[in-house]
Amino acid sequence: MAGAKKPLSRWNWVIIAVVILMVVITPMSIYAAADIEKKDLNDTTRAQIGGSYIKLPDGVTNYELTGPKEGQIVVLVHGSTIPMYVWDAQVDDLAKAGFRVLRYDLYGKGYSDRPVADYSQEFYRKQLLNLLNALGIKQTVDMVGLSMGGGLAVDFTANHPDRVNKLALVDPVINSIKNDSNIKILRPPVWGEFLMRLIATNSIAKRAADLMKKSPRAAEYEKMFREQTCYKGFERATLSMFRSDATTDYRSDYQTVGKQSRPILLIWATLDEDITPEMVQEIKKAMPNLDFKQLDGIGHDPQVEVPDKVNSLIIDFLKQQ
């Protein structure tokens, strides 16, 4: 019949199949080749690293407890990016002021386990509760939270008000961050995994280095951060955190804690590119009786940039009767 299409030959089908395979296999090959998670985080590697570790129901937690044993316990909660070493410039001053200082790596960060789980507010809240119980800490503690750690500290206080005495927040998250498009783009399945491995992990490492660049130990910290990304489970845990409520909305917790009778300190740095003045006003509205301290000309991690000033503010607040 005139105009009838000639059927594809076997070789045509072979070529089509090869093209399809290339389209599928090439991205998979690129993804596999970009995997930097070659190390296992286990008892052997932790023995080589050093530090203190404790087995909790959801996994091993890396922690440090220092300062006079009879001192009031202060719990330091780090943010979504940098593990507990982000508080290095605070620990000694707090201990010298008479406080017993507890800091720890959130699951998925530093040398804590990266369990398969939903890295949500509830998950992190459970980690801290289990840590306090496992260490035999029954008295009320003072809490200091940074960035997402500020949100987590508020969430813990809202849900366990009987465990918290005073609450200090440093540039805390209340409802995501100003420029959260990089977080949102990682949330779709498959696409998020691909971007996390090829782009996001390196971008997060660069952000961590930038946040710590004013520390005299900046080069050491950059090396430490990149090392922890090489332990299996870092990508998965970080993606789960970005996809959960841990990086989004804490407003109801702020409102709950704002109605409680508890001293609260809010420290905010004016050059913070994550926490906006509008977010600060929302925090103040939810917690109308808080003590507000503004640091002019300082960025998102003031405890690194101006540690003496931040330490003085926190210690003065915690020592107030």
Confidence (pLDDT) at 11: 57
CA atoms within 13 A on the CB side of 138: 1
93 falls within a domain: yes
pLDDT above 90 coverage of the chain, percent: 79
Q: Which amino acid is at 258?
A: G
Confidence (pLDDT) at 188: 87
2 falls within a domain: no
8 falls within a domain: no
CATH of the domain at 111: 3.40.50.1820
Confidence (pLDDT) at 319: 96
6 falls within a domain: no
Q: Which amino acid is at 247?
A: T
139 falls within a domain: yes
User: What are the beta bridge partners of residue 126?
Assistant: none
Tens of pLDDT along 2-32?
Answer: 455 555 555 555 555 556 655 555 666 766 7
Cα–Cα distance measured from residue 132 to residue 215, given in angstroms and rounded to the nearest whole number:
30
* Residue from 99, 103, 98 nearest 88 by CA: 103
Number of folded domains that form the chain: 1
E strands of 213-285, at which residues? Answer: 264-269
33 falls within a domain: no
Say whether pLDDT at 53 is over 50. yes
Q: Which domain holds residue 172?
A: 43-319
Cα–Cα distance measured from residue 109 to residue 225, given in angstroms and rounded to the nearest whole number:
9
36 falls within a domain: no
Cα–Cα distance measured from residue 160 to residue 164, given in angstroms and rounded to the nearest whole number:
7
Tens of pLDDT along 297-313?
Answer: 999 999 999 999 999 99
Contacts of 205 (CB under 8 A, 6+ apart): 222, 225, 226, 229
Confidence (pLDDT) at 16: 58
Q: Which residues of 271-295 are buried (b: 16+ CB within 10 A; e: fewer)?
A: ebebbeeebbeebbebbeebeebeb
Other beta carbons within 10 angstroms of residue 238's beta carbon come to 22
When pLDDT is averaged across residues 65-75 and rounded to a whole number, the result is 97
Cα–Cα distance measured from residue 227 to residue 39, given in angstroms and rounded to the nearest whole number:
9
Tens of pLDDT along 187-244?
Answer: 888 888 888 888 889 999 999 999 999 999 999 999 999 999 999 999 999 999 999 9
Confidence (pLDDT) at 1: 45
Say whether pLDDT at 89 is over 70. yes
What angle in degrees, to the nearest 10, is found between the helix axes of 277-286 and 251-258? 40
Q: Give residue 177's pLDDT band: very low, low, confident or very high (50, 70, 90).
A: confident
Retrieve residue 319's tokens: 């020592």
Confidence (pLDDT) at 7: 59
Say whether pLDDT at 152 is over 80. yes
Q: Mean pLDDT lowest for which of 50-54, 200-204, 248-252?
A: 200-204
Retrieve residue 291's tokens: 């003590």
Confidence (pLDDT) at 176: 81
Q: How confident is the prediction for the chain on average, in pLDDT?
A: 91
16 falls within a domain: no
Tens of pLDDT along 77-86?
Answer: 999 999 999 9
What angle in degrees, to the nearest 10, is found between the helix axes of 148-159 and 121-134? 70
Tens of pLDDT along 104-142?
Answer: 999 999 999 999 999 999 999 999 999 999 999 999 999
